[in-house]
Amino acid sequence: MNISILLTDPELKFLEFSGKLPQEITPIVSEASDRKYFRVVYPDRTLILCKDLRFQHDFVEIADFLSHEQFLVPEILKKDLIHF
């Protein structure tokens, strides 16, 4: 399926990574969370996208804090705290 049908232009631009658009985006079923996770497949890697308007600021702050304190946390490669 053409992913551009499912996404807005700003979302497609956000998902551009190293000059490449994803080949496939697949929802990951969540069980006890309102967060929406997606597997985003690029030609040379697969990334996980978390789309969560309500909690993203907190998640980013906690991840930054824990990383600064030398805890291992998933690397946040991109973030848009305004639009998404």
pLDDT in tens, 58-79: 888 999 999 999 999 988 888 8
Please tell me the pTM assigned to this model: 0.71
Residue with the two structure tokens 């991109």: 78
- Burial label for 27, CB within 10 Å (0-12, 13-18, 19+), is exposed
Nearest by Cα to 48 from 60, 35, 38: 38
Q: Per the domain annotation, does 33 fall within a domain?
A: yes
Q: Per the domain annotation, does 57 fall within a domain?
A: no
Q: Per the domain annotation, does 77 fall within a domain?
A: no
Contact between 23 and 45 under an 8 Å Cβ cutoff? The reply is no
* pLDDT tens, residue by residue, 12-50: 888 888 888 899 988 888 777 777 888 999 999 999 888
Query: Which tokens is 84 given?
Result: 């998404």
Q: Per the domain annotation, does 58 fall within a domain?
A: no
Number of structural domains, the chain?
A: 1
Q: Per the domain annotation, does 42 fall within a domain?
A: yes
Q: Per the domain annotation, does 62 fall within a domain?
A: no
Q: Per the domain annotation, does 74 fall within a domain?
A: no
Which structural domain, as residue segments, surrounds residue 32? 3-52
